[in-house]
């Protein structure tokens, strides 16, 4: 892997890694004083992206199973108050499978 674009070329395959570029290349690229770093790349995260990341974090913190709903369903089953209309259930199964 080579990284060009400065007064130095980084070649990660070579054991010495960093070597000084030739004077002709330095002149063409505009040699800069040692210690001075010029930054040309800039990354900005949009407010929407920040909001999306915040929501993803909140969602990850929520349990996958809503334990309150499970407890309510268990209680209804145990008390005999949970009734399923077979016709409605069959229709929902058919709708979910795409069959009519």
pLDDT recorded at residue 95: 93
- Distance, CA of 95 to CA of 88 (rounded, Å): 10
Question: Kind of pairing, strands 2-3 and 8-11?
Answer: antiparallel
Place 32 in a pLDDT band, splitting at 50, 70 and 90.
low
Please give the pLDDT value at position 49.
Answer: 93
Phi and psi for 81 in degrees, rounded to 5? Answer: -90, -5
Sheet containing strand 2-3, strands side by side: 2-3, 8-11, 18-20
Residue 74 has pLDDT above 80, yes or no: yes
Q: Distance between CA atoms of 35 and 37, rounded to whole angstroms?
A: 6
Residue 21: name the closest of 36, 34, 31, 33 by CA: 31
- Continuous segment of H or E residues that includes residue 8: strand 8-11
pLDDT tens-digit readout, 84-100: 899 999 999 999 988 65
pLDDT one-digit tens code per residue, 48-72: 999 999 999 999 998 888 889 999 9
Structural domain spans, the chain: 1-37, 47-97
Q: Write down the pTM of the prediction.
A: 0.31
């Amino acid at each position: 892997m080579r990284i060009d674009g400065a007064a130095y070329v980084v070649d990660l395959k070579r054991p010495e890694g960093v070597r000084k570029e030739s004077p002709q290349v330095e002149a063409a690229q505009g040699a800069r004083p040692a210690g001075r770093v010029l930054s040309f790349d800039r990354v900005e995260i949009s407010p929407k992206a920040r909001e999306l990341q915040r929501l993803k974090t909140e969602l990850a913190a929520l349990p996958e199973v809503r334990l309150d709903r499970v407890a309510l369903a268990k209680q209804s089953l145990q008390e005999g108050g949970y009734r399923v209309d077979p016709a409605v259930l069959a229709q929902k199964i058919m709708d979910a499978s795409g069959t009519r």
